[in-house]
Amino acid sequence: MISTYKLSKTYKENTVLNIDALEIPKGQSFGLVGNNGAGKTTYFSLLLDLIQPSTGSIKSNNIQVNESEDWKPFTAAFIDETFLIGYLTPEEYFYFIGELRGQNKSDVDALLAQFSDFFHGEILNQKKYLRDLSKGNQKKVGIVAALIGNPEVIILDEPFANLDPTTQIRLKQIIKDLAQKQGVTVLVSSHDLTHVTEVCERIVVLEKGQIVKDLETNPETLKELEAHFANATVLTEV
């Protein structure tokens, strides 16, 4: 579904991402972990054609993302608050995204109805604009908006950060369902090793822009990752 080939991104002389090859098959739940500055968000931004690669390319469904825009109809993402329109109410925002993705109001309403427990009564009908919601609630809106219109690829940057425990557990279930039952390719990045190992079938560890581990998740993965990052901190301290 998503193939990355000799991709690199360099700012002046500082290479922030360098991936020789990475293949993500359709329907995989894919986790990207790494410390700050490892290149997770850079990779997602390249995948969404928000920045230009210095070399190489990414193909999504055989469409090279920086050449054609045909990947947009089947791709959805929530990276940060720049994906939200602050002066809209959550409902207006959902309908707007729905219209862009060819969904009418009742389609969107039907989807939102499934997430009433996820919203915990704090999103809909609150008479508040998105800019006045708390960070956690903004994130909920962004994540659910990314699910509108049955996308085939969903990209979520740090989806667990800022969320309360109940919502984190519910979100994990949603992501698992998307990949396993609906065949959606889900890309998630996180600092939280427990969450990603629970959710993702495959985990890639980035370090200073390079892939240093590519693991299929099994019961031992969490320990392996913890050991890796524990050593990494020791190494940098020495």
Q: What distance in Å separates the CA atoms of residue 107 and residue 169, rounded to the nearest whole number? A: 25
- Nearest approach in angstroms of CB 116 to another protein is 17
Binder of another protein out of 62, 73, 166, 180 (CB under 8 A): 73
Interface pick for another protein out of 20, 55, 87, 134 (rule CB under 8 A): 87
Residue 11 within binding range of another protein, rule CB under 8 A = no
**Conformation bin of residue 148: beta by default, left when phi > 0, alpha when psi is -120 to 50:** beta
Q: Binding another protein by CB under 8 A: which of 17, 19, 84, 175?
A: 84
Of 32-40, 85-93, 111-119, 192-200, the window that binds another protein (rule: CB under 8 A) is 85-93
Q: Which stretches of the chain are assigned E, i.e. beta strand?
A: 2-11, 14-24, 29-33, 55-60, 63-64, 75-78, 153-157, 185-190, 202-207, 210-216
Stretch that binds another protein, among 1-9, 27-35, 123-131, 210-218 (CB under 8 A): 123-131
Smallest Cα–Cα separation from 225: which of 24, 19, 16, 33?
33
Total of residues contacting another protein (CB under 8 A): 35
Contacts of 4 (CB under 8 A, 6+ apart): 19, 21, 22, 23, 56, 57, 58
Span near another protein by CB under 8 A; candidates 33-41, 54-62, 87-95, 211-219:
87-95
Interface ranges with another protein (CB under 8 A): 48-52, 72-73, 75, 77, 79-80, 82-89, 91-92, 95-97, 99-101, 105, 125-129, 131-132
